Each structure stands twice: as structure tokens, then as C-alpha cells.
Amino acid sequence: MAKEITQFTGEWRFLSNFGPGRVIVSSTEYPTREHAYQAHKSLDRAVRLEVASLATPGEAKRFGRRIALRPNWDRDRKRIMLAVVMAAFTQNQDLAGQLVATEDAYLEEGNHWHDNYWGACRCAAHAGDGLNYLGRILMMARDLIRVDE
């Protein structure tokens, strides 16, 4: 087992919010974790349902850039991501098994799209400054789910 997983691609695609696994959050079913996260930028049920209806996580991400943000979004977005990730991995047994199988590997979404909040960008301007909140949430989820296995 790798001690570090620093790209959520290939065999590690399931760690990405763009990866497989439908997820139900607050009684609405979303095609991917990305859909669910983007939908929660709004408190408006109609907006959330519109996000849920989009075909791909890329469309959900683009749509999310146009959503009028709910109050305190910056404060609340980490706990929303935690809720989305926990929901996905507890509702999909195959995903849970894959996550637990990473054992104690350090998880970090290395990227080139300048995301140093959820992951860690590798570009010259940002390298080394990644906060890696998605990776940290995935490791928390792994710890919690492992207890139930």
C-alpha cells in the first residue's frame, strides 16, 4: 500500500469529488459528490434540484460559479464537504471498502488548477502551500468508517 496518494486519478479516482457514487444529502439525490457540494452553495431547493439534474460534475462545478452564495458560505463549506463525503462513503459500500483499503496512506489532491484550499497545487507559485482540506476530510471519513467495517 502506498504511503501517500497525491493524485486522485486512475485507481484513486474514487477519492475525487468527480468520481463515481451517487449521494443523497438532505433527501435529494445527486449524481456525484461535486453536484452535492455545489448545490449546497444555495439554500434554495429549486437551485439544488437544478444542480442535481446536471449531467456531469464538470457542469455542476461551472454552474456553481454562478450560484448566489448562501450566508456564511466560506465559514460553512468545510463542514458541508465533510457531510457530503461522509454521506457518499456511508451510502456506497464499494466506495467505503476502497477508502478503508488505503489503510493509513496520506491523502492529498495534488492539482494544477491552483486549488490550495481543498488540495495542493503543484505550480511554481503555490507548491508547498496546500491546505488539503479535502484530503483531511477523506482521512477523517476513513477513520470513522473503519470503525464500522
Q: Which residues bind Zn ion (CB under 5 A)?
A: 114, 121, 123, 126
d(CA 60, CA 78): 18
For the CB of residue 127, give the shortest distance to Zn ion in the complex, in Å: 8
> Which residue's CB is nearer to Zn ion, number 82 or number 120?
120
For the CB of residue 115, give the shortest distance to Zn ion in the complex, in Å: 8
> Which runs of consecutive H residues, i.e. helices, occur in the chain?
33-39, 45-52, 57-64, 73-91, 93-100, 133-146
> Which residue's CB is nearer to Zn ion, number 30 or number 133?
133
d(CA 140, CA 86): 9
Report CA dihedral (60, 64, 66, 68) to the nearest 10 degrees: 140
For the CB of residue 126, give the shortest distance to Zn ion in the complex, in Å: 4
C-alpha R_g of the chain: 15
> Which residue's CB is nearer to Zn ion, number 46 or number 125?
125
> Which residue's CB is nearer to Zn ion, number 70 or number 126?
126
For the CB of residue 110, give the shortest distance to Zn ion in the complex, in Å: 11
